[in-house]
Chains A and B, each alone.
Chain A
Amino acid sequence: MQLVAAILTMLAGVLACAAYFWATSLILDWIFPSKGLSGAAASRNLRITNAIRPWLFLAPALFALTIYLIYPVIQSAWLSLHDRGGQSFVGLRNFQWMINDGEFGQSIFNNFLWLLVVPALSTFFGLIIAALTDRIWWGNIAKTLIFMPMAISFVGAAVIWKFIYDYRAEGSEQIGLLNAIVVTFGGAPQAWITLPFWNNFFLMVILIWIQTGFAMVILSAALRGIPEETIEAAVIDGANGWQIFFKIMVPQIWGTIAVVWTTITILVLKVFDIVLAMTNGQWQSQVLANLMFDWMFRGGGDFGRGASIAVVIMVLVVPIMIWNIRNATKESGGH
């Protein structure tokens, strides 16, 4: 029932969209006709329609982007200077609170750990796997399997890994894989996700597991794009496999490595579901995105503090944003 209603609404929405584009286009041609008229009038009308039509095509998208992304960014920045209800202006007091708040400090520290470890390891594994799978006949099957976690939700992945980290008291049989391995080698079982500091790394493993496939796919395409001649030349000069890989191939794909790295970095800054599902920030594993969510609803919600944490995340993203824009405009300059 519900699904039928949803599909009907969707069809209505799609039809309304199509009708909008079709009708505005028709109206424009009707007001400023260019057919049937001659000479100056026709070319004047053609010029006008050509000036207006792009904006008709763009209007719905611009409207949605403004409401859902541009306005919120400005409003969040504004709210971060206000109290919990968003009414009275408090200046920089939210940021002052932040600096002195232990939990915020913890989150920043953890976020930096994530930023150091996850993009680096995901890219590293992605690169290694891309290079290795290109040499074997079943490489594509291997790639598909390693790419697969990409389709799994963060929450689903959290359940999968929580099962691996599952802990049973010493002496009883471990059903978590990690503890079973530890016990087999004579160690004592641990409740991994409750170990302060180290639990961060156990959560990071989940994101690395998901993101390695992404890095692998892109780096593999980049490796294949390397001109054969450079490698052949190196072989003739007597370079060995390692030298070819690290001195010939990797330097040629630095640009792609940077793209992969920054893409994963942005994802890491927004990581929320994994922490919420695994620890909800307990045992010193809090991160910014989860802290922000926490403040949005904690005790009826503190929009001022929540918004100020969002602003911090935004500020961390800005350098990458500028770098992306510069690259994109440089590239499309020729078009």
Chain B
Amino acid sequence: MNPSTRSPLTWAVHLSVLLLVLLWTMPTAGLLISSLRDKDQLAVSGWWTALAISSRNDVARAPSADSQVERDGKFVISGNLLQGQGGQVSAFGFSSREPTKYKPGETAELNDGERLTVQTDGSFEIVSDQRMEGSRGQRVFFTASTPPRFTLDNYIEVLSAAGIGRSFLNSLTVAVPSTVIPILIAAFAAYALAWMRFPGRAILLAVVVGLLVVPLQMSLIPLLQLYNGVGAFFGVPAKTYMGIWLAHTGFGLPLAIYLLRNYMAGLPREIMESARVDGASDFDIFVKIILPLSFPALASFAIFQFLWTWNDLLVAIVFLGAGEDKLVLTGRLVNLLGSRGGNWEILTASAFITIVVPLIVFFALQRYLVRGLLAGSVKGG
């Protein structure tokens, strides 16, 4: 290919990948930016305008005639339209028909001989030669532009008030043991399936592969009954952390066994044979040789299982319940969607807190994640 025909095509590839990347990252970026915005701005303008100076049309009422002061023989009412919110006035007016008739610094002649002056910073004065009357203050229409404001207030509010902090701990409590326990159990089983000879091995392997795709839904009702039964029998609560750890262990085992077995089966036979000749038992071989060598596969599964248990909603609400003190982050977020559906400052900050841990895990350990995915899926084809 000569460069002249090649370059437009290369440009097209670059452009389309850029477009796809934008399409895929924009939703998350929107959430992150929104969660950092001032909540008043968030509610009235899109996050893509976050860096722009936002302008708003507003109306303020001057203090009533009671607050006038006499100065140099004139009567003056003063105040500030923006009330300390920051920003700049770009135009003002005194009637709703012409709300932007005057520029800042100009003087508007009101109908009754009063004169209104508004400065850029929002301070205004109404000056009159006679004592002013009336219990209601003059209405002033204005257009103000506000600079972008970013703040961590939303996070502070969410962590202190919305129960997110508590749920964060609950999620950790669920996810960490649910990740560690199945690894150990699966590693031994995988070793047996990969390197030990016994009748029924092929059938067991087929069963594990079959169980990989059993829908969780099949397990929910029988296990709920079982847990309730066990709870009633021993007089303990049916919905405990122990219960959910074991449930996640059970649901994660098929993938764990499958991944680890595939990996272990690929390890060189000679290492094990020479160890066996030296008199090592299966237990020794497993602990001293296989486990250290299988670290990449163990890491892959650990990442999967952690992401899955952290992000899980169904198992958590069925086996841990939706009680206030045991709600995990995903459950909390669903509740907030229902009760605070319009409060985007709360929702965006909460959502970001729930996704930040998986994102850190993802970016830090992506290599292992990809490797695990490939081991778990491509082999099937």
Interface pair A58/B209, CB less than 8 Å apart: no
Interface pair B221/A303, CB less than 8 Å apart: yes
Interface pair B242/A153, CB less than 8 Å apart: no
Interface pair A218/B347, CB less than 8 Å apart: no
A64-B250 CB under 8 A given contacts A58-B204, A175-B44: yes
Q: For the complex, is B267 an interface residue (Cβ under 8 Å from A)?
A: no
Q: For the complex, is A93 an interface residue (Cβ under 8 Å from B)?
A: no
A68-B176 CB under 8 A given contacts A76-B222, A151-B307: no
Q: For the complex, is B216 an interface residue (Cβ under 8 Å from A)?
A: yes
Interface flags, B222-256, vs A, CB<8A=1, else 0: 11111000000000000001100111011101100
Q: Which of B34, B333, B348, B366 contacts A155 (CB 8 A)?
A: B333
Binds B, one of A96-104, A108-116, A156-164: A156-164
Q: Which of B189, B210, B347 contacts A325 (CB 8 A)?
A: B210
Residues of B within 8 Å of A158, CB to CB, are 337
> Within the assembled complex, what's the spacing in Å between the Cα atoms of A18 and B283?
11
Interface flags, A142-172, vs B, CB<8A=1, else 0: 1011111111111110111111101000000
Interface pair A61/B257, CB less than 8 Å apart: yes
Residues of A within 8 Å of B44, CB to CB, are 173, 175
Residues of A within 8 Å of B289, CB to CB, are none
B interface, by DSSP: helix, strand, loop or mixed? helix
Binds A, one of B64-72, B78-86, B155-163, B369-377: B369-377
A146-B355 CB under 8 A given contacts A69-B254, A163-B347: no
A115–chain B nearest beta-carbon distance, Å: 14
Binds B, one of A37-45, A226-234, A251-259: A251-259
Q: Which of B213, B246, B283, B374 contacts A217 (CB 8 A)?
A: B374
> Within the assembled complex, what's the spacing in Å between the Cα atoms of A321 and B247?
22
A13-B20 CB under 8 A given contacts A151-B355, A153-B311: no
Interface flags, A71-97, vs B, CB<8A=1, else 0: 111011001000000100000000000
B46–chain A nearest beta-carbon distance, Å: 5
Q: For the complex, is A324 an interface residue (Cβ under 8 Å from B)?
A: yes
Q: For the complex, is A276 an interface residue (Cβ under 8 Å from B)?
A: yes
Q: Which of B198, B217, B377 contacts A313 (CB 8 A)?
A: B217
> Within the assembled complex, what's the spacing in Å between the Cα atoms of A221 and B151?
42
Q: For the complex, is A105 an interface residue (Cβ under 8 Å from B)?
A: no
> Within the assembled complex, what's the spacing in Å between the Cα atoms of A215 and B266?
25
Interface pair A132/B176, CB less than 8 Å apart: no
Cβ < 8 Å to B, chain A residues 117-132 = 125, 129, 132
Q: For the complex, is A192 an interface residue (Cβ under 8 Å from B)?
A: no
> Within the assembled complex, what's the spacing in Å between the Cα atoms of A43 and B34?
72
Binds A, one of B25-33, B93-101, B124-132: B25-33
Interface pair B206/A328, CB less than 8 Å apart: yes
Q: For the complex, is A239 an interface residue (Cβ under 8 Å from B)?
A: no
> Within the assembled complex, what's the spacing in Å between the Cα atoms of A328 and B259?
12
A264–chain B nearest beta-carbon distance, Å: 11
> Within the assembled complex, what's the spacing in Å between the Cα atoms of A324 and B30?
39
A142-B17 CB under 8 A given contacts A60-B185, A72-B222: yes
Residues of B within 8 Å of A293, CB to CB, are 217, 220, 314
Q: For the complex, is B60 an interface residue (Cβ under 8 Å from A)?
A: no
A255–chain B nearest beta-carbon distance, Å: 3
Q: Which of A152, A222, A303, A328 contacts B380 (CB 8 A)?
A: A328
Residue from A57, A62, A67, A276 with most neighbouring chain B CB atoms (10 Å):
A57
> Within the assembled complex, what's the spacing in Å between the Cα atoms of A213 and B370?
10
A174–chain B nearest beta-carbon distance, Å: 7
In the complex, how many residues of chain A place their beta carbon closer than 8 angstroms to a beta carbon of chain B? 117
A303-B225 CB under 8 A given contacts A55-B198, A152-B311, A173-B45: yes
Q: Which of A3, A142, A311 contacts B172 (CB 8 A)?
A: A3
Q: Which of A146, A159, A256 contacts B20 (CB 8 A)?
A: A146
Q: For the complex, is A177 an interface residue (Cβ under 8 Å from B)?
A: yes
A10-B17 CB under 8 A given contacts A324-B380, A328-B205: no
A260-B205 CB under 8 A given contacts A14-B180, A129-B17: no
Interface pair B43/A175, CB less than 8 Å apart: yes
Residues of A within 8 Å of B286, CB to CB, are 57
Residues of A within 8 Å of B25, CB to CB, are 145-146, 148
Interface pair A72/B219, CB less than 8 Å apart: yes
Residues of A within 8 Å of B241, CB to CB, are 6, 9
> Within the assembled complex, what's the spacing in Å between the Cα atoms of A54 and B197?
8
Interface pair A151/B361, CB less than 8 Å apart: yes
Interface pair A65/B378, CB less than 8 Å apart: no
Among residues of B, the one whose C-beta sits closest to the C-beta of A158 is B337
Interface pair B196/A53, CB less than 8 Å apart: yes
Interface pair B253/A61, CB less than 8 Å apart: yes
Interface pair B42/A175, CB less than 8 Å apart: yes
> Within the assembled complex, what's the spacing in Å between the Cα atoms of A144 and B30?
18
Interface pair B283/A263, CB less than 8 Å apart: no
Binds A, one of B8-16, B110-118, B135-143, B293-301: B8-16
Q: Which residues of chain A have a CB within 8 Å of any CB of chain B?
A: 2-3, 6-7, 9-10, 13-14, 17-18, 21-22, 25, 29, 50-51, 53-55, 57-58, 60-62, 64-65, 67-73, 75-76, 79, 86, 125, 129, 132-133, 135-136, 139, 142, 144-156, 158-164, 166, 173-177, 180, 209, 212-214, 217-218, 221-222, 241, 255-256, 258-260, 263, 266, 269-270, 272-273, 276-277, 289, 292-293, 296, 303, 306-307, 309-311, 313-314, 317, 320-321, 324-325, 327-329, 331-332, 335
Q: List 13 A-B contacts (CB under 8 A).
A: A6-B172, A17-B184, A22-B283, A60-B188, A79-B222, A129-B20, A136-B14, A153-B358, A160-B30, A313-B218, A314-B218, A328-B380, A331-B380
Q: A13-B245, A68-B247, A153-B312 are known contacts; what are 10 more A-B pairs with Cβ within 8 Å?
A: A14-B181, A21-B188, A54-B201, A64-B246, A72-B219, A75-B222, A217-B370, A310-B220, A327-B381, A332-B202
Q: Which residues of chain B have a CB within 8 Å of any CB of chain A?
A: 9-10, 13-14, 16-18, 20-21, 24-28, 30-31, 34, 42-48, 169-170, 172-173, 176-177, 180-181, 184-186, 188-189, 191-193, 196-198, 201-202, 204-226, 241-242, 245-247, 249-251, 253-254, 257, 265, 281-283, 286, 307, 310-314, 318, 330, 333-334, 337, 344, 347-348, 350-351, 354-355, 358-359, 361-363, 366, 369-370, 373-374, 377-381
